Structure 1
Amino acid sequence: MTIKAVFFDFFNTLVDYDPPRERLQVAACREFGIEIEPQAMRQALSGGDQLYYQEIARLPESKRSAMEKMDLYARYEAKVLQEVGVEVSDEEALKIMAKFGALMRQLGAKFVLFDDVEPALAQLKGRGLTLGLITNFDRDLPPICDELGLSSYLDFLVTSLAVGAVKPDPAIFNAALERAGVNASEAMHVGDQYHSDVLGARNAGISPLLIDRDDLHPEISDCPRIRSLEEVVGYL
């Protein structure tokens, strides 16, 4: 079946933070006497992200109490540090997370597009494909996409907040299929998370592509794995 629509995850697929998260996490940890190399931290953040996305798939952050959110943040930070062999208490994890948040605000961290995004989207758009966004990100995305220049490429946005379901729930993917006006066999989804993006898309009957820019997941072999969004066109 010919692919007529391509869906994308948002964070770590189309956008990153500037300054990068790993740099701010390294700085936050240093405040507490913990020294970690940026590249090791980048890989550790990937492990933390997996925990976070699996947790919000079980119970969305918007439905958690303040105490449950604090527990999630502590577990996230502890998982990140465990990935580099550092054990901390929940209290220490929350202090590091708070310092990380303070640094983000202090340095004006903002979303930026990865370098491959605009060339890849322009190429796909030029082929007449419908392009959409599927994300568990719960902030108001339209103005962010406008500011980043994504709106001129994307035909629609599907958010977990609007649908009431988070990836990997098939409901959020089905909402995207409905917006695109295509069957599942005519769609492809690109994302950086195996559990929420790859398995979620596959369970909805959509062909998945795992974007793994830093080659952090060589063990994954049951789906195509790409290093750049400019490779997407080769899988149509």
Structure 2
Amino acid sequence: MNWSTKKAIAFDLGYTLVTNNRVQLHRQFLRNQGIELEEEIIRRAYHLADKKFMRAYPKVISTGWDYYFPWFVGKVNFLLGHQFNLIEQTNFMKQEIDRLWQSGQSFWTPFPWTVDTLQKLREQNFRLALLSNWDASARPILSFLELDELFDVIIISDEFGCEKPDPSIFQELLLQLNCSSEEVVYVGDNYYDDVPGAAEVGIATLLLNPYGRLGMEELNYKPVVPDIRHLLELLPLHSHAAYE
């Protein structure tokens, strides 16, 4: 990848820029059942379930809570060696999430490094974009978290009418950024959604995986880094001429 040509950086949203408290809620449910597990053990199980669904069940995660989450949590339970009534378990988690919203909090929160990293990239005159497979809740979440003002371009699949990895949504990214493919790098955590579609229009992708190659052993892909902070090491942070 030729980093010296990059003028714009586009990001996925979920588990790239923001995370949520699903691990903590799962841990609380286990505690209610008299089971104590370290948070990191549960986090790794969720990571492996994510990668399994990305690989084996493409686009299922974007179908919505009722359609996939009980199935997904069942996979997490299997990895942890437990078995529960999935309706009871996921209802508990959903009620806790609803309680968060009702108290003025968000289920989704930026990673601790997200805002600082984005601001540093903006200071270096990189144009920033968001391109995410998400429903109509994306913009309210971005606004609530005060992330929307950090981006020059925001493209949400529910608004555009198709999802990654369809190359047309990446082509739209180039059009809205007014950039060539060589000038853009895409950053995401889902190889199957993020890499093939971007590559079809000539955009290079930086793939995120917080556990090295855990969960994506079938792939021979580089570069892979733990999180977006590593952009500050990879990109030649020199000031580009501002776009008119």
TM range (shorter): 0.7 to 0.9
- Cα 1:204–1:82, aligned 2, differ >3 Å: closer, same or farther? farther
Out of 212-221 and 126-135, give the one that drifted further.
Answer: 212-221
Q: Distance in 2 between the 1:76 and 1:58 partners?
A: 10
Residue pair 2:62, 2:134 contacting (<8 A) in 1 also: no
Secondary structure, counterpart of 1:168 in structure 2: coil
Q: Distance in 2 between the 1:3 and 1:190 partners?
A: 13
From 17, 32, 36, the equivalent of 1:14 is 17
Q: Distance in 1 between the 2:196 and 2:78 partners?
A: 25
Flag structure 1 segments of 5+ consecutive residues without an equivalent.
Answer: 63-68
Q: Distance in 2 between the 1:154 and 1:73 partners?
A: 30
Q: Deviation per CA, 1:23-74: give whole Å up to 9, x if none.
A: 1011123444555431111111123333555646269527xxxxxx745233
Q: Between Structure 1 and Structure 2, how many residues are aligned?
A: 225
- Cα 1:41–1:58, aligned 2, differ >3 Å: closer, same or farther? closer
Flag structure 2 segments of 5+ consecutive residues without an equivalent.
Answer: 236-244
Residue pair 2:181, 2:203 contacting (<8 A) in 1 also: yes
**Per-residue deviation, 1:179:** 1.1
**Per-residue deviation, 1:93:** 1.9
**Per-residue deviation, 1:214:** 4.8
**What's the % identity of the aligned pairs?**
26
Residue pair 1:168, 1:195 contacting (<8 A) in 2 also: yes
Out of 140-149 and 112-121, give the one that drifted further.
Answer: 140-149
1:114 partnered with 2:111: yes
Could you say which residue in structure 2 is the equivalent of 1:25?
26
- Cα 1:10–1:25, aligned 2, differ >3 Å: closer, same or farther? same
Q: Distance in 2 between the 1:222 and 1:53 partners?
A: 15
Q: Deviation per CA, 1:154-186: give whole Å up to 9, x if none.
A: 012111101221222222222212211112222
Residue pair 1:60, 1:166 contacting (<8 A) in 2 also: no
- Cα 1:36–1:172, aligned 2, differ >3 Å: closer, same or farther? farther
Could you say which residue in structure 2 is the equivalent of 1:101?
94
Could you say which residue in structure 1 is the equivalent of 2:63?
61
1:232 partnered with 2:228: no
Secondary structure, counterpart of 1:83 in structure 2: helix
Q: Distance in 2 between the 1:31 and 1:106 partners?
A: 18
Q: Distance in 1 between the 2:22 and 2:182 partners?
A: 36
Q: TM-score, normalising length from structure 2? A: 0.79
- Cα 1:203–1:35, aligned 2, differ >3 Å: closer, same or farther? farther
Q: TM-score, normalising length from structure 1? A: 0.81
